[in-house]
Amino acid sequence: MPVATPAQYRAMLDAAQQGGYAYPAINVTSLPTINGALRAFAEAKTDGIIQVSTGGGQFASGSSVSDAAFGAIVLAEATHRLAEKYDILVALHTDHCHPEKVDSFLKPLLQASRKRIAEGKGPLFQSHMFDGSVVPLAENLEISKQLLKECAELDIILEVEAGCVGGEEDGHDTSGLPAEKLYTTPEDMVAVYEALSPIGRFLFAATFGNVHGAYKPGAVKLKPTILRDGQKAVTDKHGADAEMDLVFHGGSGSDLADIRETLDYGVVKMNIDTDTQYAFTRPIVTHLCENIEGVLKIDGEVGNKKHYDPRSYLKKAEISLANRLKEAADDLRSTGNTIFGKV
């Protein structure tokens, strides 16, 4: 089953940490985006992470249902089936879940995994993100500890965040935050490690100036050395084995040098959404512009069914998304790195 088992997911993260690379983690919203992701990972011969946001789940459930957890379950179940055709491993993950959405989003997904495990299957998702960066760190860690305990019982990894990612994503806007909020301190990183490591495995989205969205070069001031300094504070106090698995959010438009530098400091996962959204949409726009008379029934004409058939442009979108994701795999040095068939 190319959707990783919990043991395979842990091995994926270990391989990335030891090999100095990271997995592209792409947000999906539909079958074409899932298929584009799987195509990219297979062609790049890399394992990867497919993830669903609350907004993505809500969209996938249908406009008349608008249930984020239900839509996430649908996308995850589809990925489990579609991934069977590929010879790489993928893990399923959910993106930012803020405290007010834990009961309506995260808890139902944990229950879905609990049900699958009772049926003799693995969990539906291999990891989930709780984003408590909107509340004080002490409160963030208290909630994180409770959620990690529940996740660990299901062999699921929890991703947490301390410090805020700037910008706007899925209706959550932190663009007005003061700059210092975008940088996690070494003290914060030590606190996260000490609170969570006794409970279970976790991923940590430490922030170093990250901003969601697309920006012109130079607009975002990343400081990857924050990750280095935070990891050093943890390992100086708790030993080399305490190095944490870090996550890079808001990477769209980042300089390659900054991306590569984070790999040296323990980043094993980088989220990619804005750039793949654009890659998916761009060929659709081109198709519509180049075939406008066929797509629209202009001046009472009948148009051209081949041009307005959604398959004609969604296929182009899927391939374009796959090509952009393969570029991300190259940037993150994950190309050619799969543990499929080895673990």
171 is in an annotated binding site: no
- Asked if residue 250 belongs to a known ligand binding site, the reply is yes
Cα–Cα distances (Å) from 320 to 48, 79, 104, 125, in that order, read 17, 19, 34, 26
Tell whether residue 252 is among the known ligand binding residues: yes
131 labeled binding residue: yes
Active site residue 264: no
User: 3-class DSSP state for residue 331?
Assistant: helix
- Tell me if 273 is assigned to a ligand binding site: yes
> Is 66 marked within a binding site?
no
Q: What tokens were used for 208?
A: 């170093």
Q: Report the candidate in 112, 226, 97, 213 with the shortest Cα–Cα distance to residue 166.
A: 213
Question: Look-up: residue for tokens 């991306």?
Answer: 259
Spell out the residues 6+ positions from residue 72 whose beta carbon is closer than 8 angstroms to its own. Answer: 52, 54, 56, 57, 60, 94, 105, 109
Q: Identify any residues that bridge with 272 across adjacent strands, giving them in sequence order.
A: 26
Q: What angle do CA 201, 99, 165 make, to 5 degrees?
A: 75
The response to whether 213 counts as a known ligand-binding position is yes
Spatial separation of the C-alpha atoms in residues 5 and 123, rounded to whole Å: 8
> Binding residue per annotation — 271?
yes
* 35 annotated as a binding-site residue: no
251 marked as part of a ligand binding site:
yes
Is 67 annotated in some ligand binding site?
no
| Residue 176 annotated as binding site | no
β-pairing verdict for 168-169 and 172-173: antiparallel
Catalytic residue among 95, 170, 245, 275: 95
- How open is the CA angle 258-96-334, to the nearest 5 degrees? 40
Instruction: Give Cβ neighbours of residue 327 (< 8 Å, ≥ 6 apart).
Output: none
Q: Return the number of other C-beta atoms located less than 10 Å from residue 289's C-beta.
A: 9
Question: Residue 343 is encoded by which pair of tokens?
Answer: 């673990």
Q: Does 36 belong to an annotated binding site?
A: no
With contact defined as beta carbons under 8 Å apart, do 162 and 185 qualify?
no
Alpha helices, H only, the chain: 6-19, 31-44, 54-60, 68-82, 107-118, 137-153, 186-196, 225-238, 256-263, 274-290, 292-295, 305-308, 310-331
Annotated binding-site members: 96, 131, 161, 212-213, 249-252, 271-274
Binding residues for dihydroxyacetone phosphate, by number, are 213, 250-252, 271-274
* Catalytic residue positions, numbered: 95
Cite the annotated binding site for Zn(2+) by residue number.
96, 131, 161, 212, 249
